[in-house]
Each structure stands twice: as structure tokens, then as C-alpha cells.
């Protein structure tokens, strides 16, 4: 090493995701941005893997950091990854911005046995208040004005969990997140009101367990 810069501290939501990933895993990070998560996983947790990103500037930062990044469109090109070719596939705060979330989730569970997904909660109470007041929600988890938001789907955590159930994805772990990005301290069943976002670890349903319906209703 010729004076490699030390890596900056990992963003809180990425640190949470990292804690869900087994050391030594092969990880595919969809919408990896500047590659911070993979860089951490590769440098500190002995993982290997690839990122997928479409923003050209973010790709450049990832390349400079030594993170392998494939520039392609999550909505169109996931079919080029092999069946069960990774240990885990991550999609952080991006599902609401892809055109076809359903197909993307199905591709993810095809690519890896473990799927880690986080999404902002459109039904967070502050967002509900904003709507009642007659305005599109803007919050820490939904920071964009309606006219320049990359988000094209506005689902609640309830909605998302129903989609998981429809796709026969089993929720192994659900971490509702407060607006601060920390795990929410409220009881989990209140998450559709009190969580600004949530992080899920999913796996394919192997046998059909009777009562698993994502929960939260």
C-alpha cells in the first residue's frame, strides 16, 4: 500500500446492513452508490462482491476506492447475474425508486438466498400529517420535493410486507428505523406509524409456514 486513505466511518444505515451480513460472504450491493458498504465489507469483514450503480459520478468514486462496480440498470439487467451466485444481495433505500419493485425482488431472491432490503415508510406519522395538511411528504427518509424526487412508488411498510408475502418471501428479521436512522425504540407492531423506514432480511419461503404474513397489520 502506498499511503491509502483510511476509510471514513460507515453511515449508520449501512452499518446496520453490514451487521446482518456474515463475514466472508459474497455480496451483491444493488444501488451501491460510492461503494461505502462493500468497501467496509471487503476491508473489515473479509467479504467479496460487486456493486451495481447507474450514477456515473458514484461509480467513479467506487472505482477509486477499489470497489468492483458494474454500471447497469437494476430494472433491466439483473438477469445477467447467475442463480444463487451470491450469499447475500442488498438493496438499500432504492426499491421505491425502481420502476418494477416486484420483479426486482424476484430477481434478488433468484440471485442470493439472503435478501436485505430497506425502504422509507410513506405512512410514517409525520408523512401522514404532511398529507393531511395538503402537502406531499418531505422528511429525513423522504428528503426530496415532489418535483425532483427519484422515488416513483410511495408504499408503506404494510404495503411492502404484503408484497413480500405475495412473493413468498419470508421475513427473517425486520428492523424498524427511527428518523435518526437508529433502530426504533417503539414496539415493532407500531412500525407502520412510527418508523421512518425499515430494514428487512428476507429469504425464500421453503415450506409454507401457516402464520407468516410479514406481520404489522
Partner 1 sequence: MTLFTPDRPLNLTRGGRLDLVEVRYETYGQLSPRRDNAVFICHALTGDAHAAGFQAGADKPGWWDNLIGPGRPLDTDRFFVVCPNILGGCQGTTGPGSLNPATGQAYGLDFPILDMADFVSVHRRLCEHLGLSRLLAVIGGSLGGMQALQWALSHPSDLANACVIAASSRLSAQNIAFSAVAREAIMRDPGFHQGQYNQFGDSPDLGLSIARMMAHITYLSEEALALKFDREPERDGLNHGFGVDFAVESYLHHQGEVFLDRFDALSYLYLSRVMDYFDPFASPQATAAIAAARPNLLVCSFTSDWRFGPQHSRRVVSHLERAGVPVTYRELASDFGHDSFLLPIPRYHDTLRAFLDRAWEVGS
Pick the closer one to partner 1 by CB: 76 or 180: 76
Q: Which is nearer to partner 1, 27 or 171 (CB)?
A: 27
In the DSSP assignment, the letter for residue 83 is T
CA–CA distance, 172 with 102 (Å, rounded to integer): 19
Largest CA distance in the chain: 57
The nearest distance, CB 35 to partner 1, in angstroms, is 10
Least Å distance, CB 75 to partner 1, is 15
Q: Which is nearer to partner 1, 71 or 75 (CB)?
A: 71
Residue 177 contacts residue 183 (beta carbons within 8 Å):
yes
Measured from the CB of residue 179, what is the shortest distance to partner 1 in angstroms?
34
| Smallest distance from partner 1 to CB 70, Å | 5
Whole-angstrom distance, CA of residue 41 vs CA of residue 155: 30
| Cβ 63 to partner 1 shortest distance, Å | 4
The nearer residue to partner 1, 50 or 192, going by C-beta atoms, is: 50
At 68, give phi and psi (nearest 5°). Answer: -70, 125
Q: Are 73 and 81 in contact (CB under 8 A)?
A: no
The nearer residue to partner 1, 81 or 200, going by C-beta atoms, is 81
For helices 12-19 and 36-44, the axis angle rounded to 10 degrees is 50
Task: Name the minimum Å distance from CB 71 to partner 1.
Answer: 5
Residue 62: enclosing H or E segment and its boundaries?
helix 56-64
Whole-angstrom distance, CA of residue 89 vs CA of residue 159: 21
Q: What residues line the site for partner 1 (CB under 8 A)?
A: 1-4, 26, 48, 50, 56, 59-66, 68-72, 80-82, 85
Going from the C-alpha of 146 to that of each of 33, 93, 120, 137, 188, the distances in angstroms are 22, 17, 15, 8, 29
Nearer Cβ to partner 1, position 67 or 105? 67
Contact indicator for 115, 199 with CB cutoff of 8 Å: no
Shortest distance in whole angstroms from residue 65 CB to partner 1:
7
Which CB sits closer to partner 1, 86 or 200?
86
Amino acid at each position: 500500500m502506498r499511503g491509502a486513505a483510511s476509510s471514513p466511518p460507515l453511515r449508520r444505515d449501512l452499518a446496520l446492513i453490514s451487521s446482518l451480513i456474515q463475514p466472508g460472504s459474497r455480496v451483491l450491493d444493488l444501488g451501491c452508490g460510492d461503494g461505502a458498504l462493500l468497501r467496509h465489507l471487503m476491508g473489515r469483514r473479509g467479504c467479496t462482491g460487486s456493486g451495481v450503480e447507474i450514477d456515473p459520478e458514484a461509480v467513479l468514486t467506487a472505482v477509486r476506492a477499489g470497489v468492483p462496480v458494474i454500471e447497469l440498470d437494476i430494472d433491466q439487467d439483473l438477469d445477467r447475474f447467475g442463480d444463487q451466485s451470491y450469499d447475500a444481495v442488498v438493496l438499500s433505500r432504492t426499491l421505491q425508486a425502481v420502476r418494477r419493485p416486484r420483479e426486482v425482488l424476484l430477481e434478488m431472491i433468484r440471485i442470493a438466498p439472503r435478501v436485505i432490503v430497506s425502504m422509507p415508510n410513506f405512512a410514517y406519522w409525520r408523512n401522514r400529517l404532511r398529507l393531511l395538511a395538503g402537502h406531499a411528504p418531505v422528511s429525513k427518509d423522504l428528503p426530496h420535493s415532489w418535483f425532483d424526487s427519484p422515488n416513483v412508488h410511495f408504499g408503506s411498510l404494510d404495503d411492502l410486507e404484503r408484497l413480500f408475502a405475495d412473493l413468498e418471501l419470508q421475513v427473517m428479521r425486520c428492523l424498524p428505523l427511527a428518523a435518526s436512522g437508529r433502530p426504533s425504540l417503539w414496539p415493532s407492531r407500531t412500525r407502520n406509524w412510527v418508523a421512518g423506514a425499515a430494514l428487512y432480511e428476507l429469504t425464500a419461503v421453503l415450506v409454507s409456514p401457516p402464520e407468516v404474513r410479514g406481520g404489522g397489520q
